[in-house]
Amino acid sequence: MEALGRVFNLAHSATTSAVRVNLKDATGVTFVLTGASSGNATIAEHDAASSGTSQNLATITRYYRQSSGLWTLVTQAAAATFTAGTGGLAACYIGASELSDGFTYLSASHASGSFVYILHDLQVQRDPAALAAVTA
């Protein structure tokens, strides 16, 4: 079995669209920010696929930035934001256990960057074509 569907699933979100991803069948998600010109990425938690209650998730204390192919660990006081260097990559992991009670969805937004969401350690493993929608 391939890694996609066994180890991870993927979703994407362009700039401010803040696509919501459901963590009910994953242990966590890594948000990969790319194409950012400046400014912070913001992570929010939600209790529904759309509408419902939303709030910033201020649990980020560490993330990684990549420039010229090398990753650098960034540590900070707990916040709902992280930053990529101009034109670089940033990767931020959020575990499902970090979400508030009743919240199972996360989203990421940025004014100029886009995201790839990597959902980890899938509880239900399937062929990629048979995976459930991660945004449902």
| Alpha-carbon gap, residue 86 to 57, rounded angstroms | 24
Quickly state the pLDDT bin for 35 (edges 50, 70, 90).
confident
Rounded CA separation 120/78 (Å): 22
**pTM, two decimal places:** 0.93
- How confident is the model at residue 2, as a pLDDT? 87
pLDDT band at 19 (very low <50, low <70, confident <90, very high): very high
Q: How far is CA 25 from the centre of its chain?
A: 14
**To the nearest whole percent, how much of the chain has pLDDT over 90?**
74
| Number of residues that this document lists for the chain | 136
Residue 31 · residue 117 · CB < 8 Å: yes
